[in-house]
């Protein structure tokens, strides 16, 4: 059965990525890299990458529509600016190719490190299975398509569990590096604290004290600019989409964060294994963070692999179901209706890859992935009736003075002009499915820590 699962997963991934791709959106390749490259260019010439100066630096880049205002803000930590300044020495197309190669290497590292953490030997079969699972995991492929620094940052966070210096580079994406917080209560805490302190020093050296204050203000303003946007995958933005007032939505977001932190505390106390603590942090981060995008869900890949591929009769349905819910770009069903087939194929490839890595695959294990695929089909019908806009394609008229606004306020205006602050219960329900996947994954971790390996129920094939 493993061979059939592997063949089915490989075929689904090939068709999804080669033949079922939705229509391409205008703009430069790896859209977020546009802001990284422009920020590096600005910083190297003494400019402020956290200001409106980012737009003149983005305008000349290939793929950018220079005739209309579509500035993409840069909100990365100051310590990464020297790296992007170095990359920006290359022509934009060459820099794109180099950055893409780095992201592919990071994606491969995440997949292989997750495989090792799950105690699987790396063989041609397991390598192919985890590659199929990684390609089918929507947030990973989304981060790759956008050129997101979250990919190498998360690869470094996973690597830091065995090689502490890598924790320094994990802070390039702070909401990913936070998964390492449980390591601060271990005997290795000093190394992780030193990595964080060195990263802070690098930020200070890059922009100085005033620059750090500027960056802190930018983070606060940018969080405000996107707080209730449809591109935010947070309990607060989802509640707002369902019709809650901004005040009630903020309270719901705070309550969800407190509950997630409470669950996290119980989970890390129940299991002293560093990998288990890391996995628990990854699963609960999306429920606690006030700023989280769909591609940031790549952090759920590691707990998905750990608990689905080692799952028993109790944990497999929870872990597999949670993993597949988190692996699916639900809002994408509304934003790119012609990409529904690709979403189905990628989710199927991910499920097949996970099942192929299970201790003893059995046909009954496919019930959970099959149910999620059916849910994707049903959700797509509702999503197609409630199409969601995509920035900057759907952006309408902007305020005349937008170029003179603070960059965070300009970004807020761009999203409003795109329609991303619209209240739509379907959009919220779709995003809620992603968070449900995180909650199910955390539940699988809790069940696994509650029942030691010797007391677990066997998988169906072992019963």
- pLDDT the model gives residue 450: 65
- pLDDT the model gives residue 462: 32
- pLDDT the model gives residue 457: 41
Q: Does residue 404 lie in a domain region?
A: no
- pLDDT the model gives residue 454: 39
Burial (Cβ within 10 Å: 0-12, 13-18, ≥19) of residue 88: buried
Backbone angles phi, psi at 405, to 5 degrees: -75, 160
Residue with tokens 């993993």: 323
pLDDT single digits (tens) 105-131: 999 999 999 999 998 999 999 999 999
Q: Does residue 409 lie in a domain region?
A: no
Q: Does residue 332 lie in a domain region?
A: yes
- pLDDT the model gives residue 90: 97
Dist. CA 65–CA 100, nearest whole Å: 22
Which portions of the chain are predicted below pLDDT 70? 311-313, 450-463
Dist. CA 123–CA 259, nearest whole Å: 40
Dist. CA 347–CA 9, nearest whole Å: 9
The number of angstroms, rounded, from the C-alpha of 388 to the middle of its chain's C-alpha atoms is: 20
- pLDDT the model gives residue 75: 95
Helix (H, G, I), strand (E, B) or coil at 261: helix
Helix or strand run (H / E) with residue 253: helix 246-270
- pLDDT the model gives residue 254: 96
Domain that holds residue 352: 2-22+32-67+78-219+231-397+414-462
Dist. CA 352–CA 139, nearest whole Å: 17
pTM assigned to the model: 0.93
Q: Does residue 127 lie in a domain region?
A: yes
- pLDDT the model gives residue 313: 66
Q: Does residue 448 lie in a domain region?
A: yes
Q: Does residue 119 lie in a domain region?
A: yes
CB-hemisphere CA count at 13 Å for 414? 23
pLDDT single digits (tens) 134-157: 999 999 999 999 999 999 999 999
Q: Does residue 45 lie in a domain region?
A: yes
DSSP designation for 271:
-
Tokens of 349: 């490839």
Buried b (16+ CB within 10 A) or exposed e, 162-200: eebebbbbbbbbbbbbbbbbbbeeeeeeebbeebbeebe
**Looking at the 3D structure of the chain, how many domains does it have?**
1
Length of the chain: 463
Write down the H helix ranges in 138-273: 138-146, 150-159, 167-170, 174-177, 189-226, 235-241, 246-270
Q: Does residue 226 lie in a domain region?
A: no
């Amino acid at each position: 059965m493993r061979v059939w699962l592997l063949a089915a997963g490989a075929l689904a991934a090939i068709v999804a990525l080669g033949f079922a791709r939705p229509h391409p959106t205008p703009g430069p390749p790896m859209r977020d890299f546009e802001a990284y490259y422009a920020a590096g260019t600005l910083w190297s010439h003494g400019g402020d990458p956290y200001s409106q100066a980012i737009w003149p630096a983005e305008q000349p880049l290939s793929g950018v529509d220079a005739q209309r205002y579509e500035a993409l803000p840069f909100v990365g930590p100051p310590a990464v600016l020297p790296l992007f300044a170095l990359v920006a020495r290359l022509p934009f197309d060459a820099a794109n190719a180099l950055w893409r190669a780095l992201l592919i290497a990071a994606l491969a590292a995440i997949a292989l490190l997750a495989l090792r953490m799950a105690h699987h030997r790396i063989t041609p079969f397991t390598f192919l299975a985890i590659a199929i699972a990684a390609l089918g995991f929507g947030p990973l492929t989304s981060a790759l398509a956008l050129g997101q620094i979250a990919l190498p940052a998360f690869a470094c966070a996973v690597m830091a569990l065995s090689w502490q210096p890598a924790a320094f580079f994990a802070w390039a994406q702070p909401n990913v590096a936070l998964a390492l917080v449980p390591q601060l209560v271990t005997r290795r805490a000093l190394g992780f604290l030193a990595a964080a302190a060195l990263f802070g020093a690098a930020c200070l050296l890059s922009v100085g004290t005033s620059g750090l204050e500027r960056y802190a203000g930018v983070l606060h303003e940018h969080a405000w600019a996107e707080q209730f946007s449809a591109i935010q995958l947070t309990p607060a933005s989802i509640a707002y989409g369902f019709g809650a007032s901004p005040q009630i939505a903020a309270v719901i977001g705070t309550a969800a964060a407190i509950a997630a932190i409470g669950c996290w505390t119980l989970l890390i106390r129940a299991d002293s294994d560093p990998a288990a603590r890391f996995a628990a942090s990854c699963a609960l981060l999306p429920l606690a963070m006030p700023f989280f995008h769909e591609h940031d869900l790549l952090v759920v890949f590691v707990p998905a692999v750990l608990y689905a591929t080692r799952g028993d009769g109790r944990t497999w349905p929870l872990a597999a179901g949670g993993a597949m819910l988190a692996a699916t770009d639900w809002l994408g069903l509304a934003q790119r209706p012609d990409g529904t087939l690709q979403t189905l194929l990628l989710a199927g490839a991910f499920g097949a890859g996970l099942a192929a890595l299970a201790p003893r695959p059995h046909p009954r294990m496919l019930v959970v992935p099959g149910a999620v695929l059916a849910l994707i089909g049903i959700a797509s019908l509702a999503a197609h009736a409630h199409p969601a806009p995509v920035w900057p394609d759907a952006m309408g008229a902007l305020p005349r003075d937008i170029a003179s606004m603070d960059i965070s306020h300009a970004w807020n205006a761009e999203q409003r002009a795109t329609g991303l602050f619209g209240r739509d219960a379907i959009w919220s329900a779709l995003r809620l499915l992603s968070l449900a996947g995180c909650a199910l994954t955390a539940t699988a971790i809790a069940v696994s820590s509650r029942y030691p390996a010797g007391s677990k129920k066997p998988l169906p094939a072992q019963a």
